[in-house]
Amino acid sequence: MRMMVVVTALLPRTTGFSAAAVRTTARKHARRCVTARAERVGKPKAMYRPTSPSYPLTEMDEPRALSGLPDRSRPFTVLGIETSCDDTAAAIVRSDGTIVAEAIMPQHEVHAKFGGVVPSLAKEAHQEAIEAVVAQVLQRAGLESARELDAISATVGPGLEICLRVGARKAAQLASDFELPFVGCHHLEGHCLVARLAEPCRFPFLSLCVSGGHSMIVKCEGVGRYQVLGGTLDDALGEAYDKAARMLGLDMKGGGGPELERVAREGNPTSVPLPVPMKKRKDCDFSYAGLKTALKLQIEKKRHDAGLVDEEEPLPDQDVADLAASFQHVAITHLEDRLAYAFDRVRADDAFQSDQGRPQLALVGGVASNAEVRRRVSLLCDRAGWDLVVPPPKLCTDNGVMIAWAAIEKLHLGFSDAIDDEVYPRWPFRPPASVAAPALP
């Protein structure tokens, strides 16, 4: 209402429109805002919406090499650059799966005192590190310059726009300077496809991608062909871990998630009653906001029971360990519930009933490096008759290897992109043409 009053009061004097016309325009804008919000409410963040830019490979019927292709008759090398959030990473990977060299400059200490990633600081750290990281990976590979590479790739979305641009510009500059093929990669596709580098993983397979920004279950039908079965409605699992660690007063310098996992090993996972999210909702979506609130209330109760009035006075170590263990136990139980629904959903899919072996689940993303998550998901897969594929922990967190490998998969199919530094901060997977897109309200 305030916005409408301001617009009505100011615009007629400068534009010549009548007050009635401005009010009508303002009402139409308000209705569009309400409709856009209604489209988002209750739907996972990763789900494609017809009004959003979508991952373009799914719309290409024929391969298009817009910046050329390497000589695919022999193994070729690709530089991958990753700057979508808070780590500056680069890697050189050969098309036969050999990781030639890696380099990474983490930013945990930059953001630790703020309790989360500060985009402007992340951008500055990327700008300061990008030249050194690329130079370091070339040196480790024994190359004098990027001229000796066969192709260049970078993450171009989704992620923090000002951070994505740092890596995309550097990659585009190298591709242009040395006239090399360029591939702009989807960050989540990189996470999904790196499972195929780590172990034999055949299409189709399910991917559980759990990280600081995403919790989603994806049906991977081929390179560039993905169907999101479910995603987070609010907080991602990694984000929930970080927030829980902050509430518990844990050291954030090495990342809240790893520290909570460490502390939880000393606690009783059933000692603190916490609700399993969405227990009555039988689908593949995630929600961790309610669990985070329940943990906060339990922390307050523990502090009250211990007579702690000063907010700076910490809880006893055992209470912190029990709270951390209980939070982790329920958070993973929620993962197990969603996966069970996903397994049931694809059970009748003929593509998953292969004579090549049991269906496969790839556990990827930063939270996949959590040992308890890996253990529990492995047990669930054993019970359900699925094979679990998990990349090594260093390939679960954001890294340049996954971007170089995603580019290799696309180059093998004959795809390359025009050389530019365009980025896509919001870039949901578009469902395959055989899957109907959800209708707008």
CA 370, CA 384: separation in Å to the nearest integer? 21
The beta strand positions in 189-309, using DSSP E, are 205-210, 215-222, 225-231
> At which residue do the structure tokens 């799966």 appear?
97
Establish whether domains 56-199+396-412 and 205-390 are of one fold.
yes
Provide the token pair at 93. 């990977």
Say if residue 39's pLDDT is above 60: no
Q: What is the pLDDT of residue 10?
A: 36
CA 411, CA 64: separation in Å to the nearest integer? 10
Q: What is the pLDDT of residue 405?
A: 98
**Arithmetic mean of pLDDT, 2-25:** 47
Quickly state the pLDDT bin for 436 (edges 50, 70, 90). Answer: very low
Chain segment 395-408, per-residue pLDDT in tens: 999 999 999 999 99
Say if residue 59's pLDDT is above 60: no
**Arithmetic mean of pLDDT, 168-187:** 97
pTM, entire model: 0.84
Burial letters 325-363, b for 16+ CB under 10 A, else e = bbbbbbbbbbbebbbebbbebbeeeeebeeeeeebbbbb
Say if residue 201's pLDDT is above 70: yes
Q: What is the pLDDT of residue 246?
A: 93
> At which residue do the structure tokens 């971007």 appear?
403
Strand order in the sheet with 99-106: 99-106, 87-94, 77-82, 151-157, 182-186
Chain segment 240-284, per-residue pLDDT in tens: 999 999 999 999 888 899 999 999 999 999 999 999 999 999 999
Provide the token pair at 324. 């951390």
Look at strands 87-94 and 360-364 and give their pairing: unpaired
CATH, domain range 205-390: 3.30.420.40
Q: What is the pLDDT of residue 434?
A: 44
Residue 98 neighbours by CB under 8 Å, 6+ apart: 75
Bridge-partner residues for 92, per DSSP?
79, 101
| 277, 288 contact by CB (below 8 A) | yes
Helix axes 256-264, 317-346, angle to 10 degrees: 110
Indicate the average pLDDT of the chain.
Answer: 87
CA angle 229–232–235, rounded 5-degree value? 170
CA 76, CA 346: separation in Å to the nearest integer? 36
Domain ranges of the chain: 56-199+396-412, 205-390
H/E stretch holding 186 reads strand 182-186
3-class SS at 70?
coil
Bridge-partner residues for 88, per DSSP?
105
Q: What is the homologous superfamily of the domain 56-199+396-412 according to CATH?
A: ATPase, nucleotide binding domain (3.30.420.40)
Quickly state the pLDDT bin for 24 (edges 50, 70, 90). Answer: low
CA 193, CA 406: separation in Å to the nearest integer? 6
Residue 388 neighbours by CB under 8 Å, 6+ apart: 360, 361, 363, 377, 378, 381
Q: What is the pLDDT of residue 93?
A: 98
Q: Which amino acid is at 380?
A: L
Quickly state the pLDDT bin for 20 (edges 50, 70, 90). Answer: low
CA 63, CA 78: separation in Å to the nearest integer? 19
- Alpha-carbon dihedral of residues 152, 155, 161, 163, nearest 10 degrees? -70
Provide the token pair at 207. 């991917």
CA 167, CA 152: separation in Å to the nearest integer? 11
Closest by CA to 196, choosing from 211, 207, 187, is 207
| DSSP string over 51-68 | TS---GGGG-SS--BTT-
CA angle 377–382–385, rounded 5-degree value? 120
CA 15, CA 29: separation in Å to the nearest integer? 18
CA 191, CA 200: separation in Å to the nearest integer? 15
Quickly state the pLDDT bin for 105 (edges 50, 70, 90). Answer: very high
Chain segment 307-333, per-residue pLDDT in tens: 998 888 999 999 999 999 999 999 999
**Arithmetic mean of pLDDT, 24-29:** 59
| 220, 205 contact by CB (below 8 A) | yes
> At which residue do the structure tokens 């500056």 appear?
88
